[in-house]
Amino acid sequence: MPSTPSTARAIITHSPGIPSPSTLSLESIPVPVPKAGQVLLRVLGFGINRAEMYTRQGLSPGLSFPLTLGIECVGRVVGFAPNDDAITTATTKTTKTTKTKQFRHNDLVATCMGGLGRQIPGSYQEYTCVPAANLRHIHIPTPPSTNNASPLQTQRPSPPPQISTAVLAALPEMLQTTWGALASGLAVVPHESVLVRGGTSSIGLCAIQLLKKKFGASRVGATTRSADRVEMLRAAGADVVFIDGEDGKIAGQVMAGSGAAVHARDSKEGSAKQKRKEKEKEESKHEGEAEQQDLRFDKCLELIGTTTFLDSAACLKPGGTVCMVGMQGGQWELTNFSPFMIPNRVRVCAYGGSTQDFFAMPWDELVLDVIERRIVVPVREYAMEDIQKVHEIMEAGGGGAKMVVVLGEL
Ligand SMILES: NC(=O)c1ccc[n+]([C@@H]2O[C@H](COP(=O)([O-])OP(=O)(O)OC[C@H]3O[C@@H](n4cnc5c(N)ncnc54)[C@H](OP(=O)(O)O)[C@@H]3O)[C@@H](O)[C@H]2O)c1
């Protein structure tokens, strides 16, 4: 096991509020020493999040600088507070059950939130100290061995892990947010139809797949501003794709069943549904009813924010729910807002993830889904030196894949 060096590289933000990512500076600093209850992690990879961009821009109040950003990472446990050589934590799952976890040297772990990159130095560095209470183990099943040698013969090296550092690094915050927003924010139940507003975001692409494969959604709609990204949404499993125009309005298309809704016809499920709908339409024509197909949804995961929120609410059936999760449009407040602008009987809620949500999601099951490619996670991999470029891409709109910085192999 390599020994821990005395200095390591870290990306430091010296002062917030500077619009350009040039404020992110790659420097050499002493390797931090864990306090009681913390572990020292060798960071193998970290995901890039908009929350970090907002902190860099000075929009997260009450933080002191210089600060190392980064709200999540995956890594190996390489140290404990002086006199410790392992650490046991207790997580209260319900009022009746408490689960204990033990962390030892070289354990592969994931963390997110819990003040990381805000109240304590974050994951944009080669070594970071994290409260053990905010860690989850990562279990990667050993691939079936092709080694038929007897135990007395020379062992071949074990096969490489079935998942890359980049994909693993994309998971903690993305799975926590997506699972939490669908399970507790929107409280999706089987057979509901859900619109993912901002479908090409990393969270949107994950949500489409979880809705189809884990939540039993009957129909998933998704939006993008770009016709070039329709195929990406279909590949993720969207039944219906709507192109978000410059006015941020799709409710007309949804109610008229028009626009890119045509894409549903190509999928197997979509085509059976389409035939049924066409038959119903034919019958209703005979009854003298309007020719429109109403494609309104039961629920909407709102990842774009205030610029599309009211229109998303108008895409829902009465009694439907829209959950505010993201703020892509750059506008934090609704202007000239009256509560009566919300369509009749539509409900509104918000979701903001926390450490509690990191522990509430079925992490082991979801990681296995990713390893076995039931859930596909597109990633774009960068090095620490690319950090300014990565923030520039995020500022320009991002999407299509989760951006991750990789520092080492699993
Ligand atoms: N509440 C929480 O706990 C929580 C946690 C994590 C993230 N979030 C939020 O979730 C959202 C998605 O995050 P992400 O990291 O997955 O995003 P991302 O991968 O960077 O994707 C952003 C997407 O938003 C669209 N977009 C970008 N700029 C836009 C604009 N000005 N107007 C409308 N659409 C725009 C783009 O889609 P097209 O170009 O295809 O239209 C792009 O694919 C963010 O708002 C983030 O802050 C919330």
Ligand 1 in reach of 114 Cβ (< 6 A): no
Distance 294 CA to ligand 1 centre (A): 27
To which H or E segment does residue 165 belong? Answer: helix 165-169
How does the average pLDDT of the chain come out, rounded? 89
Whether the predicted pLDDT of 265 surpasses 80: no
| Tens-digit pLDDT profile for residues 150-171 | 655 566 666 766 899 999 999 9
What's the CATH code, domain 7-142+165-170+377-406? Answer: 3.90.180.10
Distance 128 CA to ligand 1 centre (A): 27
Ligand 1 in reach of 303 Cβ (< 6 A): yes
CB atoms near residue 150 (< 10 Å): 6
Q: Which residues of 376-410 are buried (b: 16+ CB within 10 A; e: fewer)?
A: ebbbbbbebeebeebbebbbeebbbbbbbbbbeeb
pLDDT at residue 282, rounded to an integer: 53
pLDDT at residue 338, rounded to an integer: 95
Distance 111 CA to ligand 1 centre (A): 21
Ligand 1 in reach of 296 Cβ (< 6 A): no
Whether the predicted pLDDT of 262 surpasses 50: no
Ligand 1 in reach of 201 Cβ (< 6 A): yes
pLDDT at residue 142, rounded to an integer: 82
Ligand 1 in reach of 29 Cβ (< 6 A): no
Ligand 1 in reach of 330 Cβ (< 6 A): yes
Whether the predicted pLDDT of 285 surpasses 70: no
Ligand 1 in reach of 225 Cβ (< 6 A): yes
pLDDT at residue 17, rounded to an integer: 81
| Tens-digit pLDDT profile for residues 338-382 | 999 999 999 999 999 999 999 999 999 999 999 999 999 999 999
Ligand 1 in reach of 180 Cβ (< 6 A): no
pLDDT at residue 268, rounded to an integer: 45
Please give the Cα distance from 100 to 133 (Å, whole number).
Answer: 10
Please give the Cα distance from 403 to 140 (Å, whole number).
Answer: 22
The CATH architecture annotation of domain 172-350 reads 3-Layer(aba) Sandwich (3.40)
Whether the predicted pLDDT of 180 surpasses 80: yes
If you average pLDDT over residues 390-400, what whole number do you get? 94
| Tens-digit pLDDT profile for residues 15-60 | 888 778 999 999 999 999 999 999 999 999 999 999 999 999 988 8
If you average pLDDT over residues 136-144, what whole number do you get? 89
List the domain boundaries for the chain. 7-142+165-170+377-406, 172-350
pLDDT at residue 155, rounded to an integer: 65
pLDDT band at 89 (very low <50, low <70, confident <90, very high): confident
CB atoms near residue 84 (< 10 Å): 15
Whether the predicted pLDDT of 87 surpasses 70: yes
Please give the Cα distance from 382 to 387 (Å, whole number).
Answer: 8
Ligand 1 in reach of 23 Cβ (< 6 A): no
Atom 31 of ligand 1: nearest residue by CA position: 329
pLDDT at residue 264, rounded to an integer: 46
Which of 328, 392, 395 is the pocket-test mutation for ligand 1 (most atoms within 8 Å of CB)? 328
Percent of the chain topping pLDDT 70: 85
Ligand 1 in reach of 144 Cβ (< 6 A): no
Burial class (CB in 10 A: 0-12, 13-18, 19+), 167: buried
pLDDT at residue 266, rounded to an integer: 44
Please give the Cα distance from 243 to 231 (Å, whole number).
Answer: 12
Ligand 1 in reach of 202 Cβ (< 6 A): yes
If you average pLDDT over residues 243-250, what whole number do you get? 90
pLDDT band at 149 (very low <50, low <70, confident <90, very high): low
Atom 44 of ligand 1: nearest residue by CA position: 326
If you average pLDDT over residues 215-229, what whole number do you get? 97
Distance 337 CA to ligand 1 centre (A): 23
Residues in the chain: 410
Residue located via tokens 């999760």: 325
pLDDT at residue 330, rounded to an integer: 81
Strand partners, 75: 43, 109
Closest CA to 195 of 319, 321, 307, 374: 321
| Tens-digit pLDDT profile for residues 286-295 | 444 445 578 9
Distance 198 CA to ligand 1 centre (A): 6
Contact 308, 248 (CB under 8 A): yes
Distance 303 CA to ligand 1 centre (A): 6
Residue 195's region, left for phi above 0, alpha for psi from -120 to 50, else beta, is beta
